[in-house]
Structure 1
Amino acid sequence: MIFYVENEVEAKFDFDIEDIAVTVAKKVLETEGFDGEAEINLTITDDDGIQEINKEFRDMDKPTDVLSFPMIEYDTPGDFSVIEEQKIDVYNPDNESIMFGEIVINENRVRSQALEYGHSEKREFAFLVAHSMLHLCGYDHMTDDEAKVMEAKQREVLDDLGITRD
């Protein structure tokens, strides 16, 4: 896996950002059955940074916790067979990887949501990575049924990694 991290706000946690992000991302891809070389970009920003991105790309002028920008267009979530058809758009010949997409995480929300939900910042960060990775694999939560599927998958990944709600 090729994983790029841009920490725009120089966020510091009591865990290694890249290590947790890569561990969770790999677990999601393994659980979903993707066995190729994936390229993922992660940006850590703050309320202002994510609000600007949210406004520009989603026309929502407010901060959020995480944004996901998948490169692959799926017919069915987790069906990676579509990659072959889209290879010209998602294949990076420089490192022979499939560009899955970008994740943007709001440092402030990692901290505030960890407090709100009564778990560690590491668990909140890992949850946001898992959630976003599932979006990069084509999942969504627009309906109750879709949300149940995503929630179960997120829980499975984090439980398998032993990253629980402490």
Structure 2
Amino acid sequence: MSLAIDFYDETNTITEEQLNMLLELVNHAAIEEGVDAGSELSIMFVDNDRITEINREYRGKDQATDVISFALDDEEEGEVPLNLGEEVPHLLGEIVISVQKITEQSLEYAHSFDRELGFLTVHGFLHLLGYDHMTEEDEVEMFGKQKVYLEQYGLTR
């Protein structure tokens, strides 16, 4: 099983080893979630200024945040998806992560940069799959899955 993941690092700080870790981690979560092989997503790493711009433009919040997800699979109820043939890849969406927030939060929560990087990536990925944490019940489900996938991969606190 393999997802097609395009990485864009505007900060030039994420290492090749970290990108490989994320590729393996997201593929692990995708297998657990039953995501179709060959599905595609992109992950962009930015600074706080850039994520603030994105947050302001798309969410109306003029502040830096750690991760924003843009799901492309948000079909309206009753909407019939186009059937363009089997060769068209399933596009999941895009995840945008602030590298500065990774650093800040890894210090705040007293765990490694890689653990926070993995956490935010899995968090964004689950949002692409339709998970949310707007209610307590949804939060328990989503954060529980994140914890399990990170622990299964070896990224513990």
Residue 68 of structure 2: aligned partner: 67
Cα shift at 1:46: 0.5
Residue 13 of structure 2: aligned partner: 11
Q: 1:50 to 1:88 in 2, by over 3 A?
A: farther
Give the distance between the partners of 1:113 and 1:87, measured in 2 at CA. Answer: 41
Residue 163 of structure 1: aligned partner: 155
Residue 143 of structure 2: aligned partner: 151
Amino acid at match of 2:148: E
What SS does the aligned partner of 1:145 have?
helix
What SS does the aligned partner of 2:52 have?
helix
Cα shift at 1:61: 0.5
Q: Is the 8 A contact 2:75 2:81 kept in 1?
A: no
Amino acid at match of 1:105: I
What is the Cα-based RMSD across aligned positions, in Å? 2.5
TM norm structure 2: 0.89
**Which region of structure 1 is more displaced relative to structure 2, 3-12 or 55-64?**
3-12
Give the distance between the partners of 2:143 and 2:70, measured in 1 at CA. Answer: 19
Cα shift at 1:34: 1.6
Cα shift at 1:88: 5.3
Give the distance between the partners of 2:143 and 2:14, measured in 1 at CA. Answer: 27
Give the distance between the partners of 1:46 and 1:28, measured in 2 at CA. Answer: 26
Cα shift at 1:18: 1.6
TM norm structure 1: 0.85
Of residues 97, 105, 116 in structure 1, which corresponds to 2:108? 116
Aligned pair count reads: 155
Runs of 4 or more, structure 1, over 2 Å off, are: 85-89
What SS does the aligned partner of 1:103 have?
strand
The sequence identity of aligned pairs, in percent, is 33
Q: For residues 126-156 of structure 1, give each alpha carbon's deviation from its aligned partner in whole angstroms, at most 9, with x where no partner exists.
A: 0001101100110000011000000110011
Residue 4 of structure 2: aligned partner: 2
Which runs of 5 or more residues in structure 2 are unaligned?
none
Q: Does 1:137 align with 2:139?
A: no
What SS does the aligned partner of 1:104 have?
strand
Cα shift at 1:39: 0.6
Q: 1:25 to 1:86 in 2, by over 3 A?
A: farther
Q: For residues 96-142 of structure 1, give each alpha carbon's deviation from its aligned partner in whole angstroms, at most 9, with x where no partner exists.
A: 42110000010001011000000000000000011011001100000
